[in-house]
Amino acid sequence: TKEAPEESVKNQLIPLTTDSRFENFKFSWLNIAQEPDWAKMFNKVEEYPKIVVVSFGKRKKYVVHENEVTTSSIGK
């Protein structure tokens, strides 16, 4: 996002932190205004907030969650 996420968005992520399907995931926030070089990797993201799943390794891979940021849509 361009600024800190709203409490309603943060509250949607809290149940996912205890869901066993997401036990190997870490949630963080990327401020695209402060980290423009990092944000370039996600150049197709035009609406915010968005969830992006990133896999780090020799080659960075990512997928953008295209649905709304809710516990149920992310869980699907």
Residue 12 CB neighbour total at 10 angstroms: 20
The closest of 73, 68, 71 to 15, measured between CA atoms, is 71
Q: What is the largest CA-CA distance in the chain?
A: 35
pLDDT confidence of residue 22:
78
Categorize the per-residue pLDDT at 68 as very low, low, confident or very high, splitting at 50, 70 and 90: confident
pLDDT confidence of residue 46:
67
- Read off the pTM: 0.57
